Structure 1
Amino acid sequence: MTFAHGALDLIGRVLSVELRPGDAVAMEDPGYHHLLDLVAALGLRTVPVAVDDAGIRPEDLREALRAGVRAVVFSPRAQNPYGGCFSADRRDALAEVLGAAPEVLVVENDHASEVSGAPLHTVTSAGPGRWVHVRTVSKFLGTDLRWAAAACDPVTLARHDGRLLLTSGWVSHLLQETVHGLMTDEGTRALVARARETYALRRTALAGELSARNIASHAVSGMNLWVPVRDESAVVNGLRSYGWWVAAGARFRLASGPGVRITAAGLTPAEAARLASDFAAVLGESEATYGG
C-alpha cells in the first residue's frame, strides 16, 4: 500500500517513473479528459481503446498491446464519461488478455468507489505482473481531501515511493487521520450510502426519461451519462439556450464517435424529465436546421 495527493497525482508519478517520453499508453476512448491531458503532458503517446457498457473492450486492448503500449489505464466502474463497469466476465476476459503481456503496467483507477453504484470486479485480483489499483475519496468525502490510496506490486510501490520522497516527501499524517476518521465514522458511512443510492436513482431516472423519448444513453454506474449525438456543438449550444450545461464530448474522445456527457448527480427526477424533454426538442431543432 502507498498514498498520494489524489488519483491523478499517483497515476502521473507512476507513469513518469515507469515510462519515457514517446512511450505509448492504452487509454479508454472516450475517457476522462484530465487523464488524457496528463498523459500528453508527460510526453507519452495515447493509443485509444474503445469502451462499452462493460468497460474497456478486450479485443481492442489486445490490438493496443500488439501495437507496443507500455501501460494501460482504465476504470473498473463509474467509467467517465461513458458510465461503464466491469462485469465478472469482462474482468476475466481482460485478465486473460493482460496475462499475455506481464511487462505492461496495469493502472486501475477506481475513482468513485463508494458511490459508483456497482460492485468492484478488479483485474488486479488476477495477478498481472505490474499493476496498481488506486482509490480516492474526492467523489464522496470532499474534493479538498487530496488523498488517494493504492495497492501495487512491490516494484511499482518502491519506484512510486522513491519518487515521492524526492518531491513532497509524504502525505500529511493530519490529512490521513482526517480521512481515516471520516471513513470509520458511522454517521459519515450512512451519509455516503445515501449518496450512493441517490446518485443511482438520479442516473437511472435521466436514462429512463431519455429512453422514453427514443434517445440512447450509456450509464450503468457512476454519476455521468454518455449520449451519442451527431453534432456536439448544436446539442451543447441548444441545451444552453434552455438553461442546461452539458459537456461536449470532444474533450473526452480520441477516435470514438461524437457525444455529450451529462452529470446527473444534482438532477431530481422531475428535473431529469424536463432535461430529457428539452434534449428531444434540441435534437429536433438540430435536425430541422442542420439535417441532424
Structure 2
Amino acid sequence: MATQYAISGTTARTIAASVERGVAEGSLGPGAALPPVRALADGLGVSPGTVATAYRELRQRGIVVTRGRGGTVVAHAPAVGSRRPPRVPAGVRDLAGGHPDPAFLPVLTPPDRVAPVHGSHRGSPRLPALETLAREWFTRDGVPDGQVTFAHGALDCIARLLSTELKPGDAVAVEDPGFHHLLDLVPALGLRMVPVAVDDEGMRPDELGQALRAGARAVLCSPRGQSPRGGRFSARRREELLEVLGAYPEVLVVEDDHNADIAGVPLHSLTTAGLPRWAQVRTASKHLGIDLRWAALACDATTLARHDGRLLLTSGWVSHVLQETAARLLADPGTRDLVAAGQEAYTARRAALIEALGRHGIAAHGESGLNVWVPVRDESAVVNGLRTRGWWVAAGTRFRIDSLPAVRITSAALEEADALRLASDFAAVLGESEATYGG
C-alpha cells in the first residue's frame, strides 16, 4: 500500500466509510493511492466484489477517482469536509483572493420592514420586479431571455444544472486553467473532468473538439472575465467554438458570466446562436457584493424545468428579502454609476500591471476581469519570494489540471504606483530563483 492508513470494514458500506474517514482526517490526502481491489479484498477477508462496490460508491460521491492503470486515488478536492484557501500571512498585501475593490461596491440595503408570510413562496418564487430587471440584464448583451430563473449564486446554480443533467461518472469539459471552485465542484458531484486548454480568447476549439469526442456531456466555460487567465471570447473564437459544438446538439453548454458588469469587454456569447441545450449564469457578487448570494439564469426550456424542479424540492426559492435587496440595487442609478466606475478602474489597473511587468520582460495575461495570470517556472519560489517583499499572490496549482505553472495576481485594488513596485519585486524574485535553481 502507498499509504500507512489501514482501511477497515467487512461490507461495502463500512469499507467506504473507513476510506471517507481517512480522507476527512487527513490520513489519506489528495492523490493518495488506494490498494488494488483484489489486494484490499484479500487483506480484509472479503470478496473483490464487495471492495469494488465500495470504490464505486466513493467514486460516485467524488471522494476518489480512477485513473486506468494508475489505479484508484483520492480526488484532488474530495467531497469530504471543507477546503479553505490558504490563510493570508500577517503584514502582507493580499492579491490572491480574486475579490473586487470594496470602494466600488454599494452598501446593501435590505427592505426596512418584512411582513410575515402565510405559507411559502413556492407558488411565486421570483419577484416580478427582479425578474424584469434580470431579463433586461440578459437582453442588454443579446442573451435570449425567454426562460429566466434565480439561484443562490453561480456555483449553486451550476451544481444544480450538472446534477440534474448528468449521472455519476459522466464527463464534463472544463477550462484549464480554470476557476478552482468549479474544478473542485465537478469531481465532488461524482463527474469526470476533461480539461480544455484556454488562451487569451478562451477555450481552444481544437481541444474542445477533443473533449467532446472523448464523451463530454456538458461544457463549462467563461465568455469573459475568465478566472484565472482573464480570457474573453472574441467574435472569431465564438464562431469557431460554435462550429465545433454544432456536431454535438445533445451537449449542455453552460456559460459562467460572473463578471458581466465589470469584465471591461463586450460579450460574444455562445448562447445567442440557437444552441439546443444552453445556460448562462450571472452572479451579483463581483459588482454588488460577495454577501449578495443571488444569481440569474437564462437557459433553454428543458434546462429551466430541470433546474427549477430540483430547486423546488430543496430550498424552494431564493429569499424574497434577498431578491428585493438585489432589485433595489439593480434599479438604482447611483449603483449603476458606481459599478461603471469600478469597471473603468479595473480595466486600467489590470492594464497597468501587465504593462509594468512587460517592462521587466515578464509576460502576463489578462484580457478582462479582475486578475492577471503570470506564467512562471516555479510557483512556490515566486509566491514565497513575493511574500518576503510584502505581497501575497495565488499559486497557480489551485487552478490547473494539465496547464503549465503560473501565479494569479488580483489587480482589482492595485493602484498604478503599487503595480510598478510589484513588477520590480517580481523581477527581483525571478532573478533570485534563476540564480538559485539555474533558471
Of residues 255, 271, 282, the one that matches 2:418 is 271
The superposition leaves residues 124-147 of structure 1 with CA deviations (integer Å, 9 ceiling, x where unpaired) of: 111111110010010000011100
Deviation for aligned residue 1:173: 1.7
Of residues 403, 409, 414, the one that matches 1:262 is 409
The superposition leaves residues 98-145 of structure 1 with CA deviations (integer Å, 9 ceiling, x where unpaired) of: 111010110000001100111111001111111100100100000111
Tell whether 2:347 aligns with 1:200: yes
CA distance in structure 2 between the partners assigned to 1:274 and 1:202 by the alignment: 13
Secondary structure of the residue that 1:48 maps to in structure 2? Answer: strand
CA distance in structure 2 between the partners assigned to 1:119 and 1:179 by the alignment: 23
Tell whether 2:340 aligns with 1:189: no
CA distance in structure 2 between the partners assigned to 1:235 and 1:20 by the alignment: 40
Deviation for aligned residue 1:40: 1.1
CA distance in structure 1 between the partners assigned to 2:301 and 2:224 by the alignment: 25
Deviation for aligned residue 1:78: 0.5
Match of 1:34 in 2: 181
Match of 1:248 in 2: 395
**Structure 1 counterpart of 2:318, which letter?**
V
**Structure 1 counterpart of 2:244, which letter?**
V
Match of 1:138 in 2: 285
Tell whether 2:198 aligns with 1:51: yes
Question: TM-score if structure 1 supplies the norm length?
Answer: 0.99
Tell me the matched-pair count: 292
Tell whether 2:301 aligns with 1:154: yes
CA distance in structure 2 between the partners assigned to 1:72 and 1:81 by the alignment: 17
Secondary structure of the residue that 1:262 maps to in structure 2? Answer: strand
Of residues 264, 269, 273, the one that matches 1:126 is 273
Secondary structure of the residue that 1:139 maps to in structure 2? Answer: helix
CA distance in structure 2 between the partners assigned to 1:191 and 1:45 by the alignment: 41
Match of 1:77 in 2: 224
CA distance in structure 2 between the partners assigned to 1:226 and 1:290 by the alignment: 22
The superposition leaves residues 133-182 of structure 1 with CA deviations (integer Å, 9 ceiling, x where unpaired) of: 01001000001110000111100100000000010000112211211111
CA distance in structure 1 between the partners assigned to 2:170 and 2:400 by the alignment: 20
Secondary structure of the residue that 1:182 maps to in structure 2? Answer: helix
Secondary structure of the residue that 2:264 maps to in structure 1? Answer: coil
CA distance in structure 2 between the partners assigned to 1:173 and 1:272 by the alignment: 42
Match of 1:93 in 2: 240
Of residues 311, 314, 322, the one that matches 1:167 is 314
CA distance in structure 2 between the partners assigned to 1:48 and 1:128 by the alignment: 22
**Structure 2 counterpart of 1:265, which letter?**
A
Secondary structure of the residue that 2:168 maps to in structure 1? Answer: coil
Secondary structure of the residue that 1:190 maps to in structure 2? Answer: helix
Match of 2:213 in 1: 66
Match of 1:21 in 2: 168
CA distance in structure 2 between the partners assigned to 1:102 and 1:179 by the alignment: 35
Query: Which of structure 1's runs of 4+ aligned residues deviate more than 4 A?
Result: none
Structure 1 gaps, min length 5: none
Residue identity (%): 70
Structure 2 gaps, min length 5: 1-147
CA distance in structure 2 between the partners assigned to 1:202 and 1:40 by the alignment: 35
Match of 1:233 in 2: 380
Deviation for aligned residue 1:291: 1.3
Secondary structure of the residue that 1:149 maps to in structure 2? Answer: strand
Match of 1:281 in 2: 428
CA distance in structure 2 between the partners assigned to 1:228 and 1:144 by the alignment: 32
Secondary structure of the residue that 1:86 maps to in structure 2? Answer: coil
Match of 1:106 in 2: 253
CA distance in structure 2 between the partners assigned to 1:81 and 1:291 by the alignment: 28
Root-mean-square deviation (CA, aligned residues, Å) is: 0.6
Secondary structure of the residue that 1:31 maps to in structure 2? Answer: coil
Question: TM-score if structure 2 supplies the norm length?
Answer: 0.66
